[in-house]
Amino acid sequence: MRLLQVSAEIYPLLKTGGLADIAGALPAALATAGCDARVLLPGFPAIRDGLRDGQPIGQFSLPWGETVRVLRGTLPAVPGAEGSPVHAYVLDAPGLYDRPGNPYEDAQRRPYADNHRRFAALGWGAAHLARGLDAAWTPELVHGHDWHAGLAAACLKFTAGRPVPVVFTVHNLAYQGLFSADVLGELGLPVSAFQVEGLEFHGQISYMKAGLYYADRITTVSPTYAREIQTPEQGFGLDGLLRARRNELGGILNAVDAAVWNPATDALITRHYAADQPAGKSRCKAALQEEAGLAVRKGAPLFTVVSRLAEQKGLNLVLAGIDSLVQGGGQLLVLGSGDHALESAFAHAAQRHAGSVALRVGYDEAFAHRIFAGSDVTLVPSRFEPCGLTQMYGLLYGSLPLVRAVGGLADTVVDADLATLDDGTATGIVFASFSEADYRHAVRRALALYRQPRAWARVRQTGMQQDFSWTQAARHYRAVYLAALQIPSRASS
Ligand code: ADP
Ligand code: GLC
């Protein structure tokens, strides 16, 4: 089965969040499941420069007259990963993509004014490849990720040729790619696409809605999120459409790339360790405390955050709980960047509690690995969370996740209560309502559990033994592809 994955980011070349981790791991996982998956990416500098053996295979014109060259090459392998290199198509369009820094925003954190063009190009690129731009390889199915790839489904729908099924995955419904109706003429789509039964959303053009409306199948990145987005509370105005499409919508839980995230082999951490040999973790913790400027105290439970600093992540709860966390003997380390108000609030807390609270502003992949390795508790108290990867990294690295019961967090962490401690299924601390009181209570429970070393060690070991491998997820995706292609899974497996 030949598949084209369409994504704006991909690990290890360009990453602003979990989308990149998933886009990076999925092609290899699908190959193991018997699919021939290639990727299509915008030619952001990091992606164009990282492409190996890039060769032009063709070009196409965009509706506003600009020409895009398409390069074909391979992606650099992740160290330790097995299997053959992943083939990638990259849109070489310096006028659209050659800008330093964040792929979506300028230095003032304003979305680029021509984002509608930058990601229409991605949609049209997918459509041209599906219509045979590369004579040597034509996908049978297109799989787009998030709003950046949303237009692909519409472009395919409105171009002549045999139907090519599209699967569209929602990684985060909060980011929708909304543009003024005035730019419709630039997109090369018929005026008839601009209606409620199409990509119109409250008078604007929505790339997310284009994906949701025109795709043959929709997936989200956890089963709980697939249900949540069908409600007005979490549907961002699209819940009606999602309810109408519920029979074509399902959740496939994200997985973890074991070549990148495994404390027994991770080249970025101080000492290796594993569920049955946890000794190295305390060395990682001491090294992390020292590196972060925290007091090197073995017995102080170290709570950590590795996150975009954004409203979604519920970090105002962490701020509100700092005093009681520190009074309870805990330490807090935050690695993140984004919202300036959150940055300065954490910086202020770090000043107030020098030695117990530390902040590192920025994006630092290697430091993130050292944090999971050295940390005791991974905090993810999100307002909403389509899947969340850091709680899974926390689990596998023996850092108990403390999470709110929402989205993929609810699907991946088992709260430590008397029953789950007794039957050995507990893996972390889960709290229900998005309130300071509930969050503080969860922190108190984590501190209390930490004071019971045997119970703590057991919960940690259960977490480290969780199976988040890609095998299962890849099988589920394959089943969705077969359904979109209308091939009965039994016959073709
Ligand atoms: P989201 O995609 O909503 O940001 P996820 O939990 O799915 O959340 O994925 C976040 C990814 O980005 C993880 O791989 C996490 O380790 C990484 N990450 C987030 N912030 C930082 C940071 N400041 N430095 C390094 N890695 C980060
Ligand atoms: C989004 C979501 C996050 C998810 C990631 C990868 O960024 O916010 O919850 O884990 O995509 O699917």
| Per-residue pLDDT reduced to its tens digit, 120-159 | 999 999 999 999 999 999 999 999 999 999 999 999 999 9
- Structural domains of the chain, count: 2
Statement to judge: residues 150 and 66 lie in one domain: yes
Nearest alpha carbon, ligand 1 atom 20: 307
> Which of 390, 391, 413, 468 should be mutated for ligand 1, with most atoms under 8 A from CB?
390
The per-residue pLDDT for range 360-380, each reduced to its tens digit, is 999 999 999 999 999 999 999
Statement to judge: residues 445 and 475 lie in one domain: no
Which tokens in the block code for residue 172? 């985060």
Statement to judge: residues 132 and 21 lie in one domain: yes
Nearest alpha carbon, ligand 1 atom 17: 17
> How many Å apart are CA 438 and CA 271, to the nearest integer?
35
Average pLDDT, the chain: 96
> For residue 315, is it within any domain?
yes
Which tokens in the block code for residue 8? 């704006």
> For residue 269, is it within any domain?
no
Is any ligand 2 atom within 6 A of the Cβ of residue 386?
yes
Residue 81 has pLDDT above 80, yes or no: no
Q: Determine the average pLDDT of the residues in 222-229.
A: 98
Nearest atom within ligand 2 for CA of residue 386: 9
DSSP label at residue 313: G
Statement to judge: residues 54 and 194 lie in one domain: yes
What distance in angstroms lies between residue 132's CA and the mean position of ligand 2's atoms?
A: 32
Give the pLDDT band (50/70/90) at residue 83: confident
Statement to judge: residues 172 and 223 lie in one domain: yes
Residue 160 belongs to domain with CATH number: 3.40.50.2000
Is any ligand 2 atom within 6 A of the Cβ of residue 280?
no
What distance in angstroms lies between residue 136's CA and the mean position of ligand 1's atoms?
A: 36
Is any ligand 2 atom within 6 A of the Cβ of residue 387?
yes
User: Given its phi and psi angles, is residue 351 left (phi above 0), alpha (psi -120 to 50 degrees) or beta?
Assistant: alpha
- Other C-beta atoms closer than 10 Å to the C-beta of 54 total 20
Query: Could you give phi then psi for residue 492, rounded to 5 degrees?
Result: -105, 0
Statement to judge: residues 304 and 397 lie in one domain: yes
Pocket around ligand 1 at a 6 A CB cut-off:
17-19, 21, 306-308, 335-337, 363-365, 368, 387-390
Nearest atom within ligand 1 for CA of residue 171: 2
Dihedral sign from CA coordinates of 298, 303, 305, 306: positive
Residue 268 has pLDDT above 70, yes or no: yes
> How many Å apart are CA 205 and CA 300, to the nearest integer?
51
Nearest alpha carbon, ligand 2 atom 11: 171
pLDDT at 492: 38
What distance in angstroms lies between residue 103's CA and the mean position of ligand 1's atoms?
A: 16
pLDDT at 33: 93
pLDDT at 489: 55
Query: Could you give phi then psi for residue 487, rounded to 5 degrees?
Result: -105, 125
HSE, side-chain direction, 13 A CA sphere, residue 479: 13
What distance in angstroms lies between residue 142's CA and the mean position of ligand 2's atoms?
A: 20
What range defines the domain where residue 288 resides?
Answer: 280-466
Reported pTM: 0.97
The per-residue pLDDT for range 172-212, each reduced to its tens digit, is 999 999 999 999 999 999 999 999 999 999 999 999 999 99
Q: Is 106 helix (H, G, I), strand (E, B) or coil?
A: coil
Q: Is 88 helix (H, G, I), strand (E, B) or coil?
A: strand
> How many Å apart are CA 294 and CA 415, to the nearest integer?
28
Residue 490 has pLDDT above 70, yes or no: no
pLDDT at 488: 65
> For residue 268, is it within any domain?
no
Is any ligand 2 atom within 6 A of the Cβ of residue 19?
yes
Give the pLDDT band (50/70/90) at residue 493: very low
Q: Determine the average pLDDT of the residues in 38-47.
A: 98
Residue 63 has pLDDT above 60, yes or no: yes
The per-residue pLDDT for range 334-347, each reduced to its tens digit, is 999 999 999 999 99
Q: Determine the average pLDDT of the residues in 289-296.
A: 98
> For residue 71, is it within any domain?
yes
> For residue 189, is it within any domain?
yes
Nearest alpha carbon, ligand 1 atom 24: 363
Statement to judge: residues 123 and 86 lie in one domain: yes
HSE, side-chain direction, 13 A CA sphere, residue 14: 21
- Other C-beta atoms closer than 10 Å to the C-beta of 24 total 25
> How many Å apart are CA 298 and CA 301, to the nearest integer?
8
Nearest alpha carbon, ligand 1 atom 22: 363
> For residue 267, is it within any domain?
no
Nearest alpha carbon, ligand 2 atom 7: 18
Statement to judge: residues 188 and 235 lie in one domain: yes
> Which of 306, 363, 364 should be mutated for ligand 1, with most atoms under 8 A from CB?
306
pLDDT at 78: 77
Statement to judge: residues 434 and 486 lie in one domain: no
Cis peptide before 12, with omega less than 30 degrees from 0?
yes
> For residue 39, is it within any domain?
yes
Statement to judge: residues 475 and 438 lie in one domain: no
Nearest alpha carbon, ligand 2 atom 1: 171
Nearest alpha carbon, ligand 2 atom 3: 388
The per-residue pLDDT for range 230-257, each reduced to its tens digit, is 999 999 999 999 999 999 999 999 999 9
Please answer whether residues 407 and 228 qualify as being in contact, where contact means their C-beta atoms are separated by less than 8 angstroms.
yes
> For residue 273, is it within any domain?
no
Statement to judge: residues 485 and 455 lie in one domain: no
Statement to judge: residues 49 and 74 lie in one domain: yes
- Ligand nearest to the CA of residue 368, numbered in listed order: 1
The per-residue pLDDT for range 461-478, each reduced to its tens digit, is 999 999 999 999 999 999
The per-residue pLDDT for range 383-433, each reduced to its tens digit, is 999 999 999 999 999 999 999 999 999 999 999 999 999 999 999 999 999
What distance in angstroms lies between residue 387's CA and the mean position of ligand 2's atoms?
A: 5
**Beta bridge partners of residue 303, listed in sequence order:** 332, 377
DSSP string, 149-214: GTHHHHHHHTSSSS---EEEEES-TT---EEEGGGGGGTT--GGGSSTTTTEETTEEEHHHHHHHH
What distance in angstroms lies between residue 390's CA and the mean position of ligand 2's atoms?
A: 10
> How many Å apart are CA 247 and CA 302, to the nearest integer?
44
Within its chain, how far is the Cα of 456 from the centroid?
A: 29
> Which of 21, 342, 370 should be mutated for ligand 1, with most atoms under 8 A from CB?
21
Nearest alpha carbon, ligand 1 atom 9: 18
